[in-house]
Amino acid sequence: MGELAERVERVVAGTASGVASPIATSLLTAAGIVTGNAELVAFALPAGAFTGAVAAEGVGLVRRAWSDRADRVDRFAEAAAEEMGVPVEELLAIGESSKEVRCLLGVAVEAATEARGDWKIRTLARAFVTGAKDPAVVDELMVLTELLKDVEVADVRLMAQLAKEHSFEREGSESRLFKYLGDLASGDPGLGQVVVPLARKLQMAGFVESEPRDNGMRVYRLTDLGGYLCEQLERFDSLPEPEQGRPDGRFPP
């Protein structure tokens, strides 16, 4: 258990403000048990329980930051319930249906607490709903959920530009054409000046590869792993279009 979680558990007093909703509390607690990530359980506690240990000027900030993670889980629950066409309260019962579904729910909730925008939360919800309806594909969806932990919508928008250059019918990596970063920026102008750092991040994560050209510039293409991720996202209708949201991964108001 992390130091932050241990400190929270030692705090006796709490306040009513900043309390996670019953749904978020249940999902965070179950996810903490399933994944072994005790920090998730701590995020279900009242935000006020921790504020006694910080300066008075920082109380509002701590409460807001503490409850942000629970808010993301609420949004995940609402998105999953909407996808399934059931009241959000029934989501907990669905999670009880099998060990496999509980595992997928736990990993999806864990990933949702780190999400920076609605695209990722809704994609995680779609993956969970698919697994809840068909437990036979849970293992595959667990892999997808783990991959989603490493990307946000801006990353996938860049990958989507590369995905246009190859078929999703597994023709082999050689069929994937390389592109210059300038071409990628032109294909999605909303990414602006973040194309270079995004490409570097995706390369380090194994989703993109590059090679030098005689003109001194580098060209990029998807790896097999990047192609797999894009293929799965297209399957869930979650491969974003150009300029869908700002580069920081959030949607405009």
Q: Is 134 exposed, middle or buried (0-12, 13-18, 19+ CB in 10 A)?
A: exposed
Find which of 34-43, 95-104, 137-146 is predicted with most confidence, using mean pLDDT. Answer: 137-146
How many angstroms separate the CA atoms of 131 and 140, rounded? 9
HSE-CB at 71 with a 13 A cutoff on CA atoms is 11
Structure tokens at 7: 């400190």
Res. 8: pLDDT tops 70:
no
Q: Which residues contact 126 (CB under 8 A, 6 or more apart)?
A: 79, 83, 236, 237, 238
pLDDT digits (tens, 9 = 90+) for 130-153: 999 998 999 999 999 999 999 999
Would you say 29 and 41 are in contact if contact means Cβ atoms under 8 Å apart? yes
How many angstroms separate the CA atoms of 208 and 40, rounded? 31
Q: Confidence class of residue 6 from pLDDT cuts 50, 70 and 90?
A: low
Res. 174: pLDDT tops 70:
no
- Which residues are 31's β-sheet partners? none
Q: Confidence class of residue 62 from pLDDT cuts 50, 70 and 90?
A: low
Alpha helices, DSSP H, located in the chain: 3-10, 22-35, 39-42, 48-51, 59-84, 90-95, 99-112, 118-133, 138-148, 153-163, 181-187, 195-205, 224-235
Q: List where CATH 1.10.10.10 sits in the chain.
A: 153-235
- Given this structure, which CATH class describes domain 153-235? mainly alpha
Would you say 149 and 111 are in contact if contact means Cβ atoms under 8 Å apart? yes
Q: Is the pTM of this model over 0.95?
A: no
Would you say 180 and 215 are in contact if contact means Cβ atoms under 8 Å apart? no
C-beta neighbour count of 82 within 10 angstroms:
13
Of the two residues 220 and 50, the one the predictor is more confident about is 220
Amino acid 193: pLDDT: 82
Q: What would the mean pLDDT of 99-122 be, rounded to a whole number?
A: 92
- Which residues are 180's β-sheet partners? 219
Residue 135 DSSP label: G
Of the chain, the percentage scoring pLDDT greater than 70 comes to 73
Q: Confidence class of residue 243 from pLDDT cuts 50, 70 and 90?
A: low
Would you say 97 and 51 are in contact if contact means Cβ atoms under 8 Å apart? no
Amino acid 202: pLDDT: 96
pLDDT digits (tens, 9 = 90+) for 193-225: 899 999 999 999 999 999 998 888 889 999 999
